[in-house]
Chains A and B, each alone.
Chain A
Amino acid sequence: MGLLNNTLPDIAPVKGIDAAVNWGRKSSLWPMTFGIACCAIEMMAVYAATFDLDRYGAGVPRATPRQSDLIIVPGTVNAKMAVRVRRLYDQMSEPRYVIAMGACVCGGGPYVKWGYNTVKGVHKIIPVDIFVPGCPPRPEALMDGILKLREKISRQAVFARRAETARLMDGRQA
């Protein structure tokens, strides 16, 4: 879709196509199999039968970044891990989304002052779509994060050149 990205006029038929594409994207998220620390335990609970993330179409974690479009970063990111997180994110194909799960990933958490080796939030490394705070967040909180991400995806402009998108893109080109 690269050629037509945000180039068509913002009119009803184009909006309809956008809505259809967004519906497809948000209903079949492919998360990456990725866990760093204790938040990953809660994340596993969300994938498992009790909470069942498959109800939102995001229940089959892929074992490679090349097949996934969602990376949930669950756990403390330290200097050694940050290089790997960055590399995994770079390998994902677009559109890609990032959920920062837990206090450490949202801004350092308990390591914010004396963590000599901790990246104070994964948003220093990769752009984050949804922040889920908590230490660790309850499974319901992560599910709410997924729902928020679905809302965000459904608002995206894919083909239509919306006013705010145009402003952003023009600003970036200037």
Chain B
Amino acid sequence: MDEKALHSKLTASGVGGVGELDESAKDPFVVVEAGSLVAAMTFLRDDPDCRMEMCNCVTATERADAMELAYHVSSLSKHHSLTLKVSCPRPEGGDHDSWHPEVPSIAGVWSAANWHEREQWDLLGVKFTGHPDHRRILLPEEWIGHPLRKDFVYPTSAGEIPLELDAIPMYERDENAPAPESTSERKAGEPLTQPPAPFSSRPLASGGKTCEPDAPKEGDH
């Protein structure tokens, strides 16, 4: 099936909130409301004519007025694919610190989406409600901020690890010397990181599994 047929299937399925098919793009996409995302995805997976077995990727794009998520799903047995988009409008004055758009998680539909969604949370600060293991995936656990946001402030250090080009090497640091002048927007000495919370106290919705140890030992990385 081509995208048109898939779209008509989806609209006829009774899942609400499915928009028109945008064919102006090279890769036609369907805009879906956030509320009906899980229902639409479940239909696409389970319908015998659609049979979308694979979730290729979950990506997010920060626009001036919204956070736009794109889901690429495809069927290996039927040789077709579809792109779905969800748009989360930016509230008034919504910035890096205050605005974390919320989208229902599709990790229950395809478990492959689990890590994709964690990556979007890590880099762009999109919250996925109902995600089984909502943690950072690439950056350190104690990292502050989401670096692919437009208003992300570049850090000078991550913990004791210097990140600036003109930083003093760790083994040449003099504890008594005054703090060096920084060229970055963040002031020198201002910490990027906060001490990580103990692993046991981190919330894991719906009992997601973790490979972390129960309690961090003193001096353990």
- Asked whether, in the complex, the Cβ of A119 is within 8 Å of the Cβ of B163, the reply is yes
Tell me the bound Cα distance from A112 to B165 in angstroms: 7
**Stretch in B62-70, B89-97, B154-162, B210-218 with 4+ CB within 8 Å of A:** B154-162
Chain B interface residue count, CB cutoff 8 Å, equals 20
Q: Which of A80, A108, A126 is within 8 Å of B140, CB to CB?
A: A80
**Stretch in B98-106, B112-120, B167-175 with 4+ CB within 8 Å of A:** B167-175
Chain A residues with CB below 8 A from B138, complex form = 80
Interface residues of A in 8-29 (CB under 8 A from B): none
Tell me the bound Cα distance from A120 to B159 in angstroms: 15
- Asked whether, in the complex, the Cβ of A116 is within 8 Å of the Cβ of B170, the reply is no
Q: Per-position contact with B for A115-139: 1 when CB-CB < 8 Å, else 0?
A: 0111111011111000000000000
- Asked whether, in the complex, the Cβ of B221 is within 8 Å of the Cβ of A108, the reply is no
Q: Which of B139, B140, B152, B169 is within 8 Å of A125, CB to CB?
A: B169
Least CB distance from B174 to A in Å reads 13
- Asked whether, in the complex, the Cβ of A124 is within 8 Å of the Cβ of B139, the reply is no
Q: Which of A87, A117, A123, A127 is within 8 Å of B139, CB to CB?
A: A117
Interface residues of A in 103-158 (CB under 8 A from B): 107-108, 112, 116-121, 123-127
**Does B19 interact with chain A (Cβ within 8 Å)?**
no
**Does A83 interact with chain B (Cβ within 8 Å)?**
yes
| A83-B221, A84-B221 as given contacts; A116 in contact with B165, CB under 8 Å | no
**Does B16 interact with chain A (Cβ within 8 Å)?**
no
Q: Looking across the interface, which residue of chain B has its beta carbon closest to that of A116?
A: B147
Interface residues of B in 111-133 (CB under 8 A from A): none
**Does B49 interact with chain A (Cβ within 8 Å)?**
no
- Asked whether, in the complex, the Cβ of A127 is within 8 Å of the Cβ of B171, the reply is yes
Least CB distance from B150 to A in Å reads 13
Chain B residues with CB below 8 A from A83, complex form = 159, 161, 221
Tell me the bound Cα distance from A124 to B171 in angstroms: 8
- Asked whether, in the complex, the Cβ of B162 is within 8 Å of the Cβ of A124, the reply is yes
- Asked whether, in the complex, the Cβ of B169 is within 8 Å of the Cβ of A123, the reply is yes
- Asked whether, in the complex, the Cβ of B163 is within 8 Å of the Cβ of A80, the reply is no
| A79-B140, A80-B140 as given contacts; A119 in contact with B169, CB under 8 Å | no
Least CB distance from A90 to B in Å reads 11
Chain A residues with CB below 8 A from B169, complex form = 123-125, 127
| A116-B155, A126-B171 as given contacts; A80 in contact with B164, CB under 8 Å | no
Q: Which of A82, A86, A120, A126 is within 8 Å of B164, CB to CB?
A: A120
Chain A residues with CB below 8 A from B164, complex form = 120
Chain A residues with CB below 8 A from B152, complex form = 116
| A118-B163, A120-B164 as given contacts; A79 in contact with B139, CB under 8 Å | yes
- Asked whether, in the complex, the Cβ of B161 is within 8 Å of the Cβ of A82, the reply is yes
Tell me the bound Cα distance from A79 to B156 in angstroms: 11
The 7 closest A-B pairs by CB, nearest first: A79-B158, A120-B165, A116-B147, A82-B161, A80-B140, A124-B162, A124-B169
A interface, CB within 8 angstroms of B: 79-80, 82-84, 86-87, 107-108, 112, 116-121, 123-127
8 contacts between A and B (CB under 8 A): A79-B159, A82-B158, A84-B221, A112-B165, A120-B163, A120-B165, A120-B167, A121-B165
